[in-house]
Amino acid sequence: MNFLELVFTVCAVANVNVCDEKYIPMQGDLRATACVMQAQPTLAQWAMANPNWTIMNWRCDSSTNRKQGI
């Protein structure tokens, strides 16, 4: 199934060389513009729940473009 997801790279606060890519599926049948509009509050919520990580960049993308499996 193809859906939009928020794809973002995070790096550890203690060591910026330790990074990982995270994925959050976006709810509902969204278009890219709606995903972008929901991204900031979603990322802010994730950042508050994960204070040891810093969000370095993000994008909205199709789940079919994911580099690794779900």
Residue 70 included in any domain: no
Q: Which domain holds residue 20?
A: 4-65
Strand order in the sheet with 4-12: 19-25, 4-12, 53-62
Residue 55 included in any domain: yes
Say what the pTM is. 0.80
Domain tally for the chain? 1
Render pLDDT for 18-50 as a digit per residue (tens, 0 to 9): 999 999 988 766 677 888 888 999 999 999 999
Secondary structure E strands in the chain: 4-12, 19-25, 53-62
